[in-house]
Amino acid sequence: MERQVKRIGVLTSGGDAPGMNAAVRAVVRTAVGSGVDCIGIRRGWNGLINSDFVHMDTSSVSHIIDKGGTMLYTARSEEFREESGRTKALATCKLLGLDGIVAIGGDGTFRGALALSRQAAAAGHSLQVVGIPATIDNDIGCSHYTIGFDTACNTAIECIDKLRDTMQSHERCSVVEVMGRHAGYLALYVGIAVGATAVLIPEHEIDFDRDIVEKIRRARLAGTTHYMIVVAEGAGSALEIGKRIREETGLDPRVTVLGHIQRGGTPSARDRETASRMGYEAVMSLMENRGNRVVATRDGRIVDLDMEQALATTKTFEMDRYQVLEALSVSRDGGI
């Protein structure tokens, strides 16, 4: 006989991403519409440790689908990494009578969810977990797309387009640092979209003369008098790169670090729609007793995968996009 799911929790953990609210809304409304109680756990896994939660209904998530950030707040929990911290979290789960938890975040969030579920099983308590990938870095191995990536790209593109206006007016070089500590998806996608002179990403070993200096020189010979260099934070410091450009070319670069502005703002249509579909699928997975899963996108479809296998999946960086950038950055007429 299948276990009946009566009450689930939902939380957001790690770095925030536009669309998290849309995912929370979908989880709550799908659960309530299916006769399942839903508890909002605030401030990530810390909420279970500190009993920081709120009962949610459909009105709790009204008017949040268009909001950035997360209404449940988010945090990283060092205490939850320890067995003693998870023991406290499990005590809260038992107190609330939770049958499952939907955890919205990245790899660290999912690893915490799996550890909690395993510890619960060892203690004789059945607690199923489902993860929803949400990170602007788009670096979750098992999913082709993660919530927040599209909005972050559009935010960066809007900022860079405005920077180009002033760089063109003053005939200058601009070095823009975008997020991406371990992955260059955001930088490369944005770089192609803004017609960058060069893009530096962690996945591609940098030859400073070849990848930056020569590209600037070729662009100048073609008549260009302003240059846009996009740098993923994991590929190097924009300040150091700007300093070296000055030393190598005599140009006077202006450095802009976009920082956390990329995490905020109204989520795009793609992020809202993807988050809504993923939230729905996460609740369906729990109700059908398919726990310890990660909801993911595969070739445009929403699927759920075994969490352990999902965490073991690595994402192969598509270098063909870099080849596109290389081909399009060769300017013969002075245009971008």
Give 71-106 pLDDT, tens digit per residue. 999 988 999 999 999 999 999 999 999 999 999 999
Q: How confident is the model at residue 226 (pLDDT cuts 50, 70, 90)?
A: confident
Q: Are residues 256 and 278 in the same domain?
A: no
In a domain, 183, yes or no: yes
Contacts with 2 (C-beta within 8 Å, 6 or more apart), sequence order: 289
Residue 23, CA distances (Å) to 103, 138, 278 in order: 10, 16, 7
In a domain, 201, yes or no: yes
Q: Are residues 143 and 273 in the same domain?
A: yes
- Measured CA to CA, the distance from residue 275 to residue 28 in angstroms comes to 12
Q: Are residues 124 and 21 in the same domain?
A: yes
Mean pLDDT taken over the chain: 92
Is residue 331's pLDDT more than 70?
no
> Percent of the chain beyond pLDDT 70?
97
| Domain ranges, residue 139 | 7-148+267-312
In a domain, 277, yes or no: yes
Q: Are residues 259 and 286 in the same domain?
A: no
Token digits for 280? 């729905």
- Measured CA to CA, the distance from residue 208 to residue 64 in angstroms comes to 45
At 105 the pLDDT is: 97
At 220 the pLDDT is: 86
Q: How many domains does the chain have?
A: 2
In a domain, 2, yes or no: no
Token digits for 93? 């789960």
Is residue 163's pLDDT more than 80?
yes
Q: Are residues 280 and 141 in the same domain?
A: yes
- What would the pLDDT profile of 238-271 be if each residue is shown by its tens digit? 999 999 999 999 998 999 999 899 999 999 999 9
Q: Are residues 155 and 140 in the same domain?
A: no
Is residue 1's pLDDT more than 50?
no
- What would the pLDDT profile of 131-159 be if each residue is shown by its tens digit? 999 999 999 999 999 999 999 999 999 99
In a domain, 130, yes or no: yes
Q: Are residues 142 and 272 in the same domain?
A: yes
- What would the pLDDT profile of 14-47 be if each residue is shown by its tens digit? 999 999 999 999 999 999 999 999 999 999 999 9
Q: Are residues 112 and 53 in the same domain?
A: yes
Is residue 332's pLDDT more than 80?
no
In a domain, 212, yes or no: yes
In a domain, 34, yes or no: yes
CATH number at residue 287: 3.40.50.450
- What would the pLDDT profile of 196-225 be if each residue is shown by its tens digit? 999 999 998 889 999 899 999 888 888 887
Q: Are residues 281 and 139 in the same domain?
A: yes
At 333 the pLDDT is: 46
In a domain, 319, yes or no: no
Find the catalytic residue in 37, 137, 150, 304: 137
- Measured CA to CA, the distance from residue 23 to residue 279 in angstroms comes to 5
Q: Are residues 59 and 180 in the same domain?
A: no
User: E strands along 21-133, which residues?
Assistant: 37-41, 53-56, 100-105, 128-133
Q: Are residues 120 and 30 in the same domain?
A: yes
**137 included as an active-site residue:** yes
Picking from 172, 192, 174, 181, the residue whose alpha carbon sits closest to that of residue 138 is 181
At 36 the pLDDT is: 97
pTM of the model: 0.92
Q: Are residues 75 and 154 in the same domain?
A: no
CATH number at residue 178: 3.40.50.460
